[in-house]
């Protein structure tokens, strides 16, 4: 079984992915963590030193390598499905699940966590909300191509896990 979680930053892809992998007895991979392990640099350092285009190429290489594995639960970066034909590859080789939240929910989930997220580290208040809204609007086209869309608003992790387990049976 191959499951790939996609969605905006702060959607809980990594924490949910770990829990899901444990429940289904599958290996778990976090795409950003795999890139960091391989390069020895954080995503922020890679983008800062080599540029976003270099990072997106590196991200694609790692994505394709992981998708070729026999089974997994994979959490992608928020932008992963939006570059190259990544969403098509994800859908072709795995069950993709979009963890969907609205702007207000993502803002509440991300507010106070900016220092851990380089893309929004310099934003707060209305500027953060506006950035999330604009970004989500641009990325939704790709996210909505997922095999399954789960409206995660107001759902606890266990509820989302139950929903996914029903989908994969």
β-strand pairing of 72-75 with 28-30:
parallel
| CATH classification number, 2-168, choose in 3.10.129.10, 3.40.190.10, 3.40.140.10, 3.40.50.300 | 3.40.50.300
Residues contacting 87, CB < 8 A, separation 6+? 6, 81, 96, 142, 145, 146
Cα gap 10→20, rounded to integer Å: 17
Could you list the pLDDT tens digit for every one of the 169 residues in the chain? 999 999 999 999 999 999 999 999 999 999 999 999 999 999 989 988 999 899 999 999 999 999 999 999 999 999 999 999 999 999 999 999 999 999 999 999 999 988 888 789 889 999 999 999 999 999 999 999 999 999 999 999 999 999 999 999 8
Task: Look at residue 127 and give its three-state secondary structure.
Answer: helix
| pTM tops 0.85, yes or no | yes
């Amino acid at each position: 079984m191959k499951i790939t979680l996609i969605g905006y930053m702060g959607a809980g892809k990594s924490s949910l992915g770990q829990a899901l992998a444990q429940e289904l007895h599958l290996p778990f991979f976090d795409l950003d963590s795999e890139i960091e392990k391989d390069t020895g640099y954080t995503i922020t350092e890679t983008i800062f030193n080599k540029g976003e285009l270099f990072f997106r190429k590196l991200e694609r290489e790692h994505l394709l390598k992981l998708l070729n594995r026999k089974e997994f639960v994979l959490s992608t970066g928020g932008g992963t499905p939006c570059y190259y034909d990544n969403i098509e590859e994800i859908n072709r080789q795995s069950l993709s699940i979009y963890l969907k939240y609205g702007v207000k929910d993502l803002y509440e989930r991300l507010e106070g966590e900016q220092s851990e997220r380089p893309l929004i580290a310099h934003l707060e208040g209305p500027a953060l909300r506006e950035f999330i809204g604009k970004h989500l609007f641009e990325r939704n086209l790709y996210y909505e191509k997922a095999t399954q869309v789960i409206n995660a608003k107001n759902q606890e992790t266990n509820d989302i896990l139950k929903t996914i387990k029903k989908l994969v049976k």
